[in-house]
Structure 1
Amino acid sequence: MLTLNEINDAYREIKDVVHRTPMLTSRSLSKKCANHIYLKSEHVQVAGAFKIRGATNKVKAAAKEGATHVITASSGNHGQAVAYIAGKLGLKATIVVPENVVTSKAAAIHDYGADIIHCGTTSTERLKKAKELTTDEEPVFIPPYDDPLVMAGQGTVGLEILEQIPDVDAVYVPIGGGGLISGIATAIKASNPEIKVIGVEPERGNDTYLSKQRGDITAIEHADTIADGLRASQPGDLTFPVIQKDVDDIVLVSDDAIQAALIFVLERMKQLIEPSAAVTVAAAMANKADMREKNICCVISGGNMALDKLAEMVTEDA
């Protein structure tokens, strides 16, 4: 199991690379949610998402062991993070992305200097491809979520939440493979077990919800949701036990609710976030935690939104 000490170690390791992201508030959003809402703004993080935290912790460790080439599989954000930190450390990077990767995310990976390989449309397909290209020496595989160093890096978001909102009552966290929520839940529950940690998944990407309900890792065939960063086929072998132990509940939100939340944040708060990040706001707007007048933090996981997709959403909403 991941420990608070490992997360504290990760924070010391990555603090020269990552931002301590702000906590944003909106009276209109809080009123709509009937709670005091805070947005942990990882959409303004280095490389546009929380993923830089875990990627930095893992890639730095690989570099210390002599790696010169790293490889990973990603729907976009983790790939951008690995490409960024690899370039900063002078390492070669190869990123396996889905055939339907968001164009802006692929462009950013390329701009950071990494090579791109397209493979399939599911996390299972691209993970398999990346691992097939990994040898006993190099390139070194950088897991997108199911790794202690990656999970510890993501857990530093939890440390910052506790510092920025000492009296927080609940935290909504997006779930893809589970690296972010397992790290945050470990940090929060080790500090104050009374704080609720609530995972949020799209209705059409509900693998972790099903897994927690059944008490065993459950895969889904295809996650067809606008939240492209949450299209994992199943939770990780390492992340799922932490989720079972420390996550109080997992709730589901529809694609329509995700889209409405994204547009609300854009219109009222002037913040551009991606659909995967908007799931937490959607959950808060639906009061999935069943709370009133409480301090609730929504983790905004990223802001790598393709402008053509945004234009489609705004047109549909008009």
Structure 2
Amino acid sequence: MTAPLPHGSPTAADIAAARKNIAAALEPTPCLRSRPLEERLGRPLWLKCELLQRTGSFKPRGVLNWLAGAAPDELARGLITVSAGNHGMALAWAGGERRIPVTVVMPEGASAYKVEACRDYGAEVLLHDDIHAAWAHARQRAQDTGATLVPPYDHPRIIAGQGTVGLELLDQLPGLDTVICPVGGGGLISGIGLALKAAKPQLRLIGVEPAGAATLKSAWDAGGPVDLEKPATLATSLGANRAGECTYPISRQVVDELVALEEDAIAAGTELLLGSGKLYAEPGGAIAVAAIASDTVILGEDEYVAAVVSGGNMEKKELLKLLSTAL
């Protein structure tokens, strides 16, 4: 049974407003085709290159739209968040631009590259055992200090900001039939889906998540968000431990198909996008292409398809691990 949208869920109008809110700071990302990649896949494919956005992922869209709607008292004592990296980098950058103190709580296993990037953007970074411990510490610190906790994906303004990717896709590829999108906590696919379905209800939206961190599928199966005890995946940017209270019901309305990908398929697809696609995408950013390459997503011969390449923040250690897994 499809869950009703919760009160306060973002609308198409909210996403249009978000586009105006972020326009001065962020340019639209390109949709590109790679002929060598298409030769390997045996089909045309457009790539929505969010890895070319500020801070190397789509995340600044949601962060800037959250800030645009924040009250002065929400900013007065600084901001705190939990992140494996990309959301933390985006919040650190945006906070630095406005001279707002930012604290990013990250799991111990987070990418050293992303930890240092958050610090370089001016954030205080705190490392805790795992994603569960990171969340517990962030909530306690917010309570103790009065800092405002900025969710990485489960907030209407964050979701509306991510939905601007969908508006750009509609402008850039008006004949589009299908969009394939990475899934972590569900903010990106929820926002994109709201934008796409408002304009073209018949358009097919497919979500791809790692089998080792299948947060949205677990929520679908359980009838609501559930905690994953130990999410573990090469696609660390998609390693959320729980789907959102907002993103779960939205996803039930806008996502037509949800698939999970094993680690070897994620690694092989990322290597393919790097080698043939010439895009330095991190595994979480490449997972939509990986789903096509592994035939996990079945597409019609004439289907007009775009894959969202959601991020490209990968350090050398991760690249070496990826290549060893893909071989």
Q: TM-score range by the shorter chain?
A: over 0.9
Q: Which residue of 1 aligns with 2:203?
A: 195
SS of match in other structure, 2:46: strand
Give the superposition deviation at 1:176: 0.8
Q: Which amino acid aligns with 2:12?
A: L
Determine if the alignment matches structure 1 residue 8 to structure 2 residue 16.
yes
Q: Which among 160, 178, 198 is matched to residue 168 of structure 2?
A: 160
Equivalent residue runs for 1:110-129 within 5 Å: 110-122=119-131, 124-129=132-137
User: In structure 2, what is the equivalent of residue 259 of structure 1?
Assistant: 267
Please name the residue that 1:177 is paired with: 185
Find the aligned partners of 2:75 and 2:183 in 1 and give their Cα distance. 30
Which string of whole-angstrom CA distances, capped at 9 and with x for unpartnered residues, describes residues 283-317 of structure 1? 12134144223111111110000112212333454
Q: Secondary structure of the equivalent of 1:273?
A: coil
- Partners in 1 of 2:27 and 2:245 — Cα distance? 29
Q: Is the 8 A contact 2:10 2:157 kept in 1?
A: no
What's the offset of the Cα at 1:220? 2.0
Contact map agreement 1:67 1:138 (CA 8 A) in 2: no
Output the TM-score relative to the length of structure 1: 0.95
* Structure 2: runs of 5 or more not aligned: 1-8
Q: Which secondary structure state, in structure 1, belongs to the residue aligned with residue 218 of structure 2?
A: helix
How far residue 18 of structure 1 moved from its aligned partner, in angstroms, is: 1.6
Rounded Cα–Cα distance in structure 2 between residues aligned with 1:113 and 1:220: 31
1:228 to 232, 236, 245: 236
Q: Deviations over 1:238-286 (max 9, x none)?
A: 1100001111010111111111111111112221000101110111213
SS of 2:181's partner is strand
The one-letter amino acid paired with 2:111 is V
Confirm or deny: 8 A CA contact 1:198 1:289 kept in the other structure.
no
The range that moved more, 155-164 or 289-298, is: 289-298
* Counterpart position of 1:75: 84
Distance 1:63 1:48, change over 3 A: farther
Cα drift, residue 216 of structure 1:
2.7
The aligned counterpart of 1:239 is: 247
Are residues 67 and 75 of structure 1, via their aligned partners in 2, closer, same or farther at CA, if it must alter by over 3 Å?
Answer: same
Query: Percent of counterpart pairs with the same letter?
Result: 36
Structure 1 pair 252/24, CA: closer, same or farther in 2 (3 Å)?
A: same
Aligned residue for 2:259, secondary structure, equals: strand
Which segment is superposed worse, 136-145 or 244-253? 136-145
- The offset of 1:60, in angstroms, is 3.4
Tell me: CA distance 1:111–1:284, structure 2 relative to 1, closer, same or farther (3 Å).
same
Query: 2:218 maps to what in 1?
Result: 210
Please say if residues 33 and 286 of structure 1, whose CA atoms lie closer than 8 Å, have aligned partners that are also in contact: no
| Partner residue, 2:3 | none
Encode CA deviations 1:82-103: one digit per residue, 9 max, x unaligned. Answer: 0000000111110001111100
Distance across 2 between alignment mates of 1:209 and 1:86: 33
Does the Cα contact within 8 Å between 1:35 and 1:294 map onto a contact in 2? no
Given candidates 99, 102, 106, the residue that maps to 2:108 is: 99
What CA distance in whole angstroms lies between the structure 1 residues aligned with 2:22 and 2:112? Answer: 28
**Partners in 1 of 2:230 and 2:178 — Cα distance?**
30
Q: Secondary structure at 2:227's aligned position in 1?
A: coil
Root-mean-square deviation over aligned CA pairs:
1.7
Kept in 1: contact 2:238–2:284 (CA 8 A):
yes
**Larger mean Cα displacement after TM superposition, 219-228 or 38-47:** 219-228
Deviations 1:160-218 (A, max 9, x none): 01111111111111111111011000000001011101110011111211322343323
- The alpha carbon displacement at 1:64 in A equals 4.6
